[in-house]
Copies of this chain bind each other. A is one copy, B any other.
Amino acid sequence: MHLRALPPQAVAMVSTLEEIIAIVRACAEHRTPIIPYGAGTSLECHVGAPQDGVSIDLSGMKRVLRVNPEDQDCTVEPGLTRSALNEALRHTGLFFPVDPGADATIGGMAATRASGTTTLRYGGMRENVMALSVVTADGRVIKTARRARKSAAGYDLTRLFVGSEGTLGIIADVTLKLHPAPEAMSAAVCAFASARGATSTVVEAIQGGLPLARAEYLDAAAIGAVNGVFGTTYPVSDALFLEFHGSAEEVAAHAERARSIAAENGGGEFRWAVETEARNQLWKARHNAGLAALSLRPGARPWSTDVCVPISQLPDCIDATKQDIAALPFPAIVIGHIGDGNFHVILLLDSASPEESDAARRFNDALVARAIAMDGTSTGEHGIGMGKRECLRQELGAAVDLMADVKRAIDPHFLMNPDKIFLSCANAQPT
């Protein structure tokens, strides 16, 4: 089932709030499932239509509705992509930092509680969404909050909808925190003799309070793939991609501390990227590592999974994961936002081979079980979707029943993005 295409019966291209409401009301009347769609970059089958229904394509709703530079916030339509938002902000001195890699839509990022490379310093969507307008399954429109930086007014509906994966309503606009563009930035790549050297460097930096803006790990297989596809010349070994933001003095001081910690952990020279173009190239290589991995086995089907553990557990978790990878009958790479304790494994399997599918499933089960045993989570940022429903139960037990109670209260006919997070049938029984 993993990653199988599950097309809807119809696609509605909407361009206004009123159109969303009209379609939702029509669907509600006919008890037809509704599947919100942004850029289609999610990884756990969030946009599939297992119960048929109408996909509501929000990619045409991409206006910046309002920028408040003096309050460092903005309100945008859900179909705007993060890169288009940052383009629109270019002359304000502000930027929107959340960077999941893909050029996802802001609505999709809110719906899946996206995070990514800069979450270590700026937080993810959980921290950066201030308010949402949402159309619920009965066609009501609610506004979850106003623009105050904090509030104690009632339940935190903003964060209830952030990460609800389209199962509680359709996000119609998003108010976001913005951040001042840092005065100075520098990035560096450092090669290590072992995964342990790279992971320990980041753990020690975090524990020492060093403010890293990005701390990304790529294993040797990922570096090899990146070099092969993009013509880069990084040493083929485990590597850290680091970035520092702040004043020129802070950036220099933080980079020097990082260099010293890396050296104590067997790290090589820092290869610097300070100018914008050089930094962009470096992060392009990082962001496209997953794509580059496809070159390791042309024609293979990629399966991208992720977990997140408390930082002290990260070196052991990655070492054990790499041992499991060594025993797989197909190639795989490990990359991740390890400053948050979060990493991805991309498995490259032959989808025609039941043996390989079984091996991949066993690998993923073991990965999730290990993360949970370390008091971590079955998914740091990809979400539950259809792929990790059983993992969610394994991770949170009876809390999942309470989530289903909330789902039932807000969407009693289970019309909103069915079978994501929970199976609709099991939970749609009247209580």
Contacts and interface: CB of A to CB of B under 8 A. Distances in A.
Contacts of A146: 372, 375-377, 395-396
Contacts of A142: 396-399, 402
B68 A312 contact: yes
A291 interface: no
B154 A384 contact: yes
Interface in A325-369: 340-342
B124 A150 contact: yes
Contacts of A400: 154
Contact of A310 (B71, B402, B421): B71
A141 B398 contact: yes
Contacts of A67: none
B70 A207 contact: yes
Nearest to A408: B409
A140 B90 CA distance: 50
Contacts of A149: 308, 310-311, 340-342
Given A160-B160, A250-B250, A150 B309 contact: no
A413 interface: no
Nearest to A125: B152
A422 to B, nearest CB: 9
A148 B377 contact: yes
A140 B162 CA distance: 25
A380 B126 CA distance: 19
Interface stretch (A19-27, A111-119, A214-222, A275-283): A111-119
A95 to B, nearest CB: 12
Given A163-B154, A392-B153, A312 B376 contact: no
A151 interface: yes
A396 B153 contact: yes
Given A249-B249, A406-B410, A410-B405, A395 B312 contact: no
A409 B399 contact: no
Given A209-B180, A312-B68, A398-B142, A156 B148 contact: no
A378 B311 contact: no
A186 to B, nearest CB: 18
What 4 pairs across the A-B complex have the smallest Cβ distances?
A: A409-B409, A151-B377, A159-B159, A70-B312
Interface of A: 68, 70-73, 112-115, 119, 124, 126-127, 136, 140-157, 159-160, 162-164, 180, 203, 207-209, 247, 249-250, 253, 308-312, 340-342, 371-372, 375-384, 388, 391-392, 395-403, 405-410, 421
5 contacts: A147-B310, A148-B377, A148-B380, A152-B383, A154-B384
